[in-house]
């Protein structure tokens, strides 16, 4: 990093308005002002950052390109929270043959659009608003399948985005995709490409490149639908100027140990908010005209926004047919959530894909608890399966972490839709074995 140039060190303050220093770039002006405010010589700053004073002098006058390495070194001393990198990007516009990673560019803006009306999440949004923007913000949103984790994360990210000058990135980690979760190496390639940085061949080099790129910048990152801590860890930004919002159907406890991660576990909607969601999508008149049927739809959907949205989409295709009539056309009302002609996929497909990612004993317990159709205990499951008490507890703990069952004292309960699915899913799979 140290340059071989040996011109005399720069001393004393100088500011951009001074005609003597009118050639200073924005980056240069920032460095000069920083020295001036702290009464430090530029040579001392250069030495502290491991640069030669003459090299720093050329950088601040725009006679040399400002490299990522130089910014990283200076930021470690100056702590300008990303402002240095931003100023360098602008300053390098005027430097010929500048390196591509420092060229001024449009900041990436990859956040998907927000849901137009987010029902029943005012309290959650208010609570996470108190946590950021903050240095090194790390927010982890978990909750059962289809509780609206992505919708909440994206809404919050849109609110934070203006504070993150280097832009916002969104990566789908495909935690429950039928083809398996996204490979972190592929995700890193996507992230680096999004910042228009070169993508090294090896995984280790990609991790290093990502950490260098996020060390001294202000970037907002959403990592959606994470599967495991192993998948997430290499993707976390290294610098305190970045914020990351993670969503997962799992409570990834080991990720949280020893970190300042803020966590929020999302529950299904209250019945009132479920009905409001249906009213937004089907029209208030339709809901108030058939209150019992509307309530029944919300119940069948387990008050899960994803199921409610899919059911509403199905019902909205026949605006002039009473809801009761439409429901009576389904042999099993639960089929409401099975529609497949939707870009988001059906609830049926989502549950099926999730089920297939689970170990056999977790699948068996999901089916069993679903079939019992009331709250149960570990002792009851142990008797029905013949499992040892320790193994039974560990399987149930796995289902709790996956938000497939909830525990209260010593009893375990299941969401209505998740229960229904479990009871049907095991048919033929485990029948006869308990
Ligand atoms: N609070 C809400 N109000 C209105 N609509 C919502 C709400 N939350 C989610 N939705 C709708 O439900 C759909 C599913 O939500 P979302 O994808 O956020 O769920 P998720 O918990 O991330 O699901 P998954 O577990 O599959 O990742 C979204 O397309 C959105 O339209
Ligand atoms: Mg999601």
- Ligand minimally distant from the alpha carbon of residue 143: 1
Instruction: Please count the residues of the chain.
Output: 434
The predicted structure's pLDDT at residue 221: 96
Would you say residue 127 has pLDDT above 80?
A: yes
Mean pLDDT over each residue of the chain, to the nearest integer: 84
Q: Which of 31, 37, 46 is nearest to 91 (CA)?
A: 31
Distance 159 CA to ligand 2 centre (A): 18
The predicted structure's pLDDT at residue 283: 94
The predicted structure's pLDDT at residue 26: 85
* For ligand 1, atom 14: residue with the closest CA: 306
Provide the pLDDT confidence category of residue 50 given band limits of 50, 70 and 90. confident
Lowest mean pLDDT among 123-137, 308-322, 402-416: 123-137
Q: CA 16, 19, 25, 31: dihedral to nearest 10 degrees?
A: -40
Counting ligand 1 atoms within 8 A of each CB, the residue from 111, 113, 114, 115 with the most, and so the one to mutate, is: 115
26 CB-side CA count, 13 A: 14
108 within 8 A of 168, measured Cβ to Cβ: yes
Q: Which residue has the higher pLDDT, 113 or 48?
A: 113
Which atom of ligand 1 has the smallest separation from the CA of 280? 4
The predicted structure's pLDDT at residue 369: 95
User: The tokens of 92 are what?
Assistant: 């390098």
The predicted structure's pLDDT at residue 257: 60
**What is the spatial distance between Cα 324 and Cα 409, in angstroms, rounded to a whole number?**
39
Q: Which of 140, 155, 130, 138 is nearest to 305 (CA)?
A: 155
Provide the pLDDT confidence category of residue 99 given band limits of 50, 70 and 90. very low
Lowest mean pLDDT among 135-144, 341-350, 398-407: 341-350
Q: Which residue has the higher pLDDT, 313 or 254?
A: 313
Task: Provide the pairing of β-strand 411-413 with 376-377.
Answer: antiparallel
Lowest mean pLDDT among 96-105, 127-136, 140-149: 96-105
Mean pLDDT of 225-239: 93
**CATH code matching the domain that covers 358-425, chosen among 1.10.10.10, 1.10.8.80, 1.25.40.420, 3.30.300.30:** 1.10.10.10
Which atom of ligand 1 has the smallest separation from the CA of 144? 25
Q: What is the DSSP string of 28-70?
A: HHHHHHHHHHHT--HHHHHHHTT--HHHHHHHHTTSSPPPHHH
Which atom of ligand 1 has the smallest separation from the CA of 175? 27
329 within 8 A of 395, measured Cβ to Cβ: no
Chain position carrying tokens 């919708």: 151
Q: Which residue has the higher pLDDT, 425 or 208?
A: 208
- Ligand minimally distant from the alpha carbon of residue 119: 1
Does an H or E element contain 285, and which? helix 284-289
Distance 224 CA to ligand 1 centre (A): 12
Name the residue ranges covered by the structural domains of the chain: 19-102, 122-266, 271-343, 358-425
Distance 305 CA to ligand 1 centre (A): 5
Q: Could you tell me the sign of the dihedral formed by the alpha carbons of 398, 400, 401, 404, in that order? A: positive
Task: Kindly report, residue by residue over 331-386, the tens digit of the pLDDT.
Answer: 665 566 555 445 456 787 888 889 999 999 999 999 999 999 899 999 999 999 99
Task: Kindly report, residue by residue over 261-295, the tens digit of the pLDDT.
Answer: 889 999 999 999 999 999 999 999 999 999 999 99
Task: Kindly report, residue by residue over 170-218, the tens digit of the pLDDT.
Answer: 999 999 888 889 999 999 999 999 998 999 999 999 999 999 999 888 8
* For ligand 1, atom 12: residue with the closest CA: 306
Report the alpha-carbon angle 366-371-376, nearest 5: 75
User: The tokens of 7 are what?
Assistant: 């011109």
CATH of domain 19-102: 1.10.260.40
Q: Which residue has the higher pLDDT, 11 or 172?
A: 172
Which atom of ligand 1 has the smallest separation from the CA of 269? 1
User: The tokens of 325 are what?
Assistant: 């009539």
Distance 147 CA to ligand 1 centre (A): 6
Would you say residue 253 has pLDDT above 90?
A: no
Mean pLDDT of 10-26: 51
Task: Kindly report, residue by residue over 296-326, the tens digit of the pLDDT.
Answer: 999 989 999 999 998 898 888 888 888 988 8
The predicted structure's pLDDT at residue 12: 31
Would you say residue 434 has pLDDT above 80?
A: no
The predicted structure's pLDDT at residue 92: 63
The predicted structure's pLDDT at residue 133: 66
291 CB-side CA count, 13 A: 3
Q: Which residue has the higher pLDDT, 250 or 342?
A: 250
* For ligand 1, atom 16: residue with the closest CA: 148
Contacts (Cβ under 8 Å, ≥6 apart) of 291: none
Q: CA 191, 196, 201, 205: dihedral to nearest 10 degrees?
A: -70
Mean pLDDT of 125-130: 90
Can you give the pTM of this predicted structure? 0.76
For 309, phi then psi, to 5°, come to: -65, -40
Provide the pLDDT confidence category of residue 9 given band limits of 50, 70 and 90. very low
- Ligand 1 is surrounded, with C-beta below 6 A, by 115, 118-121, 145-151, 225, 247, 249, 277, 305-306, 309, 344, 350
CATH of domain 122-266: 3.40.50.300
Which atom of ligand 1 has the smallest separation from the CA of 249? 25
b/e string for 267-290 if b means 16 or more Cβ within 10 A? bbbeeebbbbbbbbbbeeebbeeb
**What is the spatial distance between Cα 45 and Cα 197, in angstroms, rounded to a whole number?**
28
Would you say residue 250 has pLDDT above 90?
A: yes
The predicted structure's pLDDT at residue 130: 85
% of the chain with per-residue pLDDT over 90: 52
The burial class, CB within 10 Å (0-12 / 13-18 / 19+), for 128 is: buried
Contacts (Cβ under 8 Å, ≥6 apart) of 257: none
Provide the pLDDT confidence category of residue 23 given band limits of 50, 70 and 90. confident
Distance 152 CA to ligand 2 centre (A): 9
* For ligand 1, atom 19: residue with the closest CA: 148
Would you say residue 28 has pLDDT above 80?
A: yes
Distance 148 CA to ligand 2 centre (A): 7
Which of 69-83, 339-353, 384-398 has the largest mean confidence?
384-398
């Amino acid at each position: 990093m140290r340059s071989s140039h040996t011109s005399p060190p720069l001393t004393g303050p100088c500011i951009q308005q001074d005609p003597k220093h009118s050639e200073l770039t924005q980056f240069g002006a920032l460095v000069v002002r920083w020295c001036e405010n702290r009464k430090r010589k530029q040579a001392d700053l250069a030495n502290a950052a491991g640069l030669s004073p003459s090299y720093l002098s050329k950088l601040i006058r725009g006679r040399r390109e400002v490299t990522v390495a130089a910014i990283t070194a200076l930021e470690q001393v100056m702590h300008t929270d990303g402002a240095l990198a931003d100023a360098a990007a602008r300053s390098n516009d005027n430097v010929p043959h500048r390196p591509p990673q420092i060229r001024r560019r449009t900041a990436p803006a990859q956040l998907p659009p927000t849901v137009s009306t987010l029902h029943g999440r005012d309290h959650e949004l208010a609570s996470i608003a108190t946590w950021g923007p903050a240095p090194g913000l790390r927010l982890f949103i978990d909750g059962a399948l289809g509780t609206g984790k992505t919708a909440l994360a994206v809404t919050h990210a849109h609110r934070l985005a203006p504070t993150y000058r280097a832009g916002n990135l969104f990566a789908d980690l495909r935690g429950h995709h039928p083809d398996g979760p996204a490979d972190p190496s592929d995700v890193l390639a996507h992230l680096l490409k999004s910042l228009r940085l070169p993508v090294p061949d090896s995984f280790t080099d990609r991790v290093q490149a990502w950490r260098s790129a996020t060390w001294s910048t202000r970037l907002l990152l959403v990592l959606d639908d994470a599967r495991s801590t192993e998948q997430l860890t290499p993707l976390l930004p290294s610098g305190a100027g970045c914020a990351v919002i993670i969503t997962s159907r799992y409570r990834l406890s080991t990720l949280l140990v020893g970190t300042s991660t803020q966590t929020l576990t999302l529950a299904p909607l209250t019945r009132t908010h479920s009905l409001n969601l249906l009213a937004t999508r089907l029209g208030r008149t339709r809901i108030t005209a058939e209150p019992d049927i509307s309530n029944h739809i919300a119940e069948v959907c387990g008050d899960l926004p994803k199921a409610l949205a899919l059911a509403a989409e199905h019902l909205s295709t026949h605006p002039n047919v009473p809801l009761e009539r439409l429901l009576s056309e389904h042999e099993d009302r639960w089929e409401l959530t099975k529609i497949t002609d939707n870009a988001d996929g059906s609830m049926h497909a989502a549950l099926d894909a999730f089920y297939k990612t689970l170990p056999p004993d977790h699948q068996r317990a999901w089916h069993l608890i679903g079939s019992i159709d009331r709250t149960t205990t570990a002792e009851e499951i142990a008797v029905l399966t013949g499992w040892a008490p320790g193994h039974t507890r560990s399987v149930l703990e796995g289902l709790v972490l996956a938000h497939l069952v909830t525990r209260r004292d010593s009893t375990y309960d299941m969401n209505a839709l998740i229960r229904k699915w479990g009871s049907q899913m095991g048919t033929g799979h485990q029948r006869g074995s308990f």
